[in-house]
Amino acid sequence: MSVKPGAEFLTGGLGIEMDSRRGLGRRRRPFEQFMHGALWLCGAISILTTIGIVYMLGQEALLFFRREEVRLLDFLTGWTWQPQTLQFGIWPLVNATMGASLIAMALALPLGLLIAIYLSEYASFKARRILKPILEVLAGIPTVVYGYFALTFVTPILRNMFGVEVVEIFNIASAGLVIGVLVLPTVTSMSEDALRAVPVALREAAVGLGATKLETSVRVVVPAALSGISAAFIVAMSRAVGETMIVAVAAGAGPRNFADWSEALGGLRALNPFQSAETMTGHIVRISGGDISYDSLDYDSLFAIGLLLFLMTLGLNIFSRAIASRFRERYD
Amino acid sequence: MAVSNVDGTTEGGGYALTASNLQVWYGGFHAVSDVSMEVPTHRITAMIGPSGCGKSTLLRTFNRMNDLVDVARVEGSVHYRGVDIYGPDVDPVEVRRRIGMVFQKPNPFPKSIFENVAWGARIHGFKGDMEQLVEDCLRRVVLWDEVKDKLNQSGLSLSGGQQQRLCIARAIAVQPDIVLMDEPCSALDPIATLHIEELMRDLAAQYTIVVVTHNMQQAARVSDYTAFFSVIPETRTGELVEVGPTDMIFDSPDNPRTNDYITGRFG
């Protein structure tokens, strides 16, 4: 029987037998100590994994940048990615990744937030019980299916709308829109959680002042939930930037290269969403899927791309957090 | 039993609100049974009674806050300025603009002190001098001197009593006729409670106030009229036992149940 130290005082007069010999001395609790250690280990594993990945990426990327064929400045500013001719300018890949992600977020953020507001503030219990599982099914569809959905369903629609001579078969817009659908459940469910966590008392305060449901939702509940909503945005954006299968299938199988900045931005040719382009992830998966020899320049270049991708999502995280903490309204 | 001979001055024959045969259900639960009472204009009416007697529920029917609860159902009528606020053509949003509410737990918005007061007026399209309005309302609740130098700080940075005064300022900033207060002091310390009670007396000159309280001394101190509610033990349904001038309810109640409650023999 385990008795808390001091319990003797409470029960002493009641005639209940207690082990009072041990007094108030410090007791050993092996199981508590074991669990403490085990939980610490679980936390440590996730941190160690991250450190391991960063270390591995960094080390391999360093091999790439150490090679004499590669110049860091060209890597960071160049608009041609053509390993055959030893041209390693990262911008065609970064441009495609950013294009697809922005299109995805332009779809997923407003739509996801509106759905979340509907589910949290407007929907009846019944409607929510039906809608939420349907939405969650979207998150369970394999991304390769999404890829072919983009290629065989969305692309033909875009070509019908804007003309076959404008929209190429492989294009960024189609892939971006479908990535938007892919991250929609993430945006919705995280935003909804944040909205529902806002105390009912705040809604009552607004309604009691004669605010309509829309005024209450948009001007009290959403601002109060902003930190959670921006967390949803960060997760969804990171997911979109890192999405691979959809862009590999639907966006194109070659970087959209330009000679230099003026050629890329002249007539905004780099920004055309209806032409094919290869994203950072798309390039990595295509090259590593082919017969590539270990220790080759191509092989090392993939790690440089991976490292940059990691730094981009990290930067996005930090940036969004800073924005959110600037505008959030603390209610707790 | 209804209040009579009230020397009211505005519409409704001196009554700001008239409830007739009011019943409230939450799903299958009959929360309040058959309440008929009047709320005199520019007076403080207190609603007292044991926990679960439906006094807060009834208060929320006076400005249709119960509409927020899906399963709530109201029968009977509440007349405000000659209009039944449960009538088919009545917009509950307009009802709540004229009949404001202060809640049990202070619930300022997580916005600045200024924005808390300005919020309601702004959504109703107030075009005047907002800074003046905010200052007037904060002066009215005797909070101005304490917050005038930190209007940009969060409303949540204030103490509990200050927060509740801020909430009252926010409520009167939309210029309501009636202010409903749901146990406004129950989360506050005695000093803050005293401040709020003084404020209520002061506001009664301009507004009709209905206050729910579980504190009988408070009802005796601040109110002009008192309604005593009780709960039917078998069904847990709340009912109105007696309503009248506060002096009468406390000194010579008609109903022995009121007397028992007031003298502390029950509840």
DSSP letters of A282-318?
A: HHHHHHHHS---TTSHHHHHHHHHHHHHHHHHHHHHH
Q: Which chain A residue shows the shortest CA-CA distance from B93?
A: A210
Quote the percentage of chain A above a pLDDT of 90: 60
Report the distance separating Cα A232 and Cα A7, nearest Å.
48
Give the Cα separation of B120 and B97 in Å (integer): 9
Q: What is the pLDDT of residue B10?
A: 42
Q: Is B168 on the interface with A (CB under 8 A)?
A: no
Instruction: Find the closest chain B residue to A225 by CA distance.
Output: B110
Neighbour count for residue B208 (Cβ, 10 Å): 25
- CA of A330: which chain B residue's CA is closest? B110
Q: Is the pLDDT of residue B1 over 50?
A: no
Query: Is the pLDDT confidence value at B145 over 80?
Result: yes
Residue B36 main-chain phi, psi, to 5 deg: -125, 120
Assess B103–A contact: CB distance below 8 Å, yes or no: yes
Cα separation of A255 and A90, whole Å? 10
Chain B interface disruption, residue of A200, A209, A226, A332, most B CBs within 10 A: A209
Virtual torsion, Cα B255, B259, B264, B267, nearest 10 deg = 10
Evaluate if residue A12 carries a pLDDT over 70.
no
> Would you call A204 and B120 a contact, using CB atoms and an 8 Å cutoff?
no
Cβ within 8 Å, pair B108-A205? yes
**Number of CB atoms found within 10 A of residue B145's CB:** 9
DSSP tag of A81 = E
Write out the residues of chain A at the interface with chain B, using a CB-CB cutoff of 8 A.
124-125, 199, 201-212, 215, 219-220, 223-224, 329-331
- Asked if pLDDT for residue A318 goes beyond 60, the answer is yes
Residue of A nearest to B97 (CA): A210
Q: Which of B25, B64, B59 is nearest to B39 (CA)?
A: B59
Let me know: does B241 contact B228? Beta carbons within 8 Å.
Answer: yes
Residues of chain B with Cβ-Cβ distance to A330 below 8 Å are 110, 154, 156
Can you tell me the mean pLDDT for A173-197? 94
Question: Count H helices, E strands: chain A?
Answer: 16, 2
- Interchain contact, B110 vs A223, CB within 8 Å: yes
| Closest residue to A202, CB basis, from B68, B70, B107 | B107
- Answer yes or no: are the C-beta atoms of B139 and B199 closer than 8 Å: no
The percentage of residues in chain B with a pLDDT greater than 90, rounded to a whole number, is 70
Check pLDDT > 60 for residue A331. Answer: yes
Check pLDDT > 70 for residue A24: yes
pLDDT above 70: residue B2:
no
Average pLDDT over residues A55-80: 90
CB atoms within 10 A of CB A175: 35
Q: Are strands A81-82 and A87-88 parallel, antiparallel or unpaired?
A: antiparallel
Residue A40: in which H helix or E strand, if any?
helix A30-66
- Report yes or no: B7 at the A interface, CB cutoff 8 Å: no
Mean pLDDT, range B78-104, rounded to an integer = 93
Residue A208 to chain B, least CA–CA distance (Å): 6
Across the interface, whether the CB atoms of A209 and B103 are under 8 A apart is answered no
User: B97 CB near a chain A CB, below 8 Å?
Assistant: yes
Exposed / middle / buried, residue B252 (Cβ in 10 Å: 0-12, 13-18, 19+): exposed
DSSP, residue by residue, chain B: ---------STTTTEEEEEEEEEEEETTEEEEEEEEEEEETTSEEEEE-STTSSHHHHHHHTTTGGGGSTTEEEEEEEEETTEETTSTT--HHHHHHHEEEE-SS----SSBHHHHHHHHHHHTT--S-HHHHHHHHHHHTT-HHHHTT-TTSBGGGS-HHHHHHHHHHHHHTT--SEEEEESTTTTS-HHHHHHHHHHHHHHTTTSEEEEE-S-HHHHHHH-SEEEEEEEETTTTEEEEEEEEEHHHHHHS-SSHHHHHHHTTS--
Nearest by CB: B93 against A210, A223, A331: A210
Q: Provide φ and ψ at A295, rounded to 5°.
A: 80, 5
Q: Is the pLDDT of residue A9 over 60?
A: no
Among left, alpha and beta (phi > 0; psi -120 to 50; other), residue A50 is: alpha
- Model pLDDT, residue B44: 95
Mean pLDDT of chain A: 88
Closest by Cα among A255, A269, A315, A249 to A91: A255
Per-residue pLDDT averaged across A201-216, rounded? Answer: 94
Give the span between the Cα atoms of A176 and A172, in whole angstroms.
6
Torsion region of A145: left, alpha or beta (phi above 0 gives left; psi -120 to 50 gives alpha): alpha
The three-state secondary structure class of A88 is strand
Chain B residue closest in CA terms to A206: B120
Q: How far is CA A169 from the centre of its chain?
A: 27
Flag if A210 and B70 touch (Cβ within 8 Å).
no
Cα B120 to Cα B115: distance, rounded to the nearest angstrom: 9
Minimal-distance CA residue of chain B relative to A212:
B93
User: Which chain B residues are within 8 Å of A223, Cβ to Cβ?
Assistant: 110-111
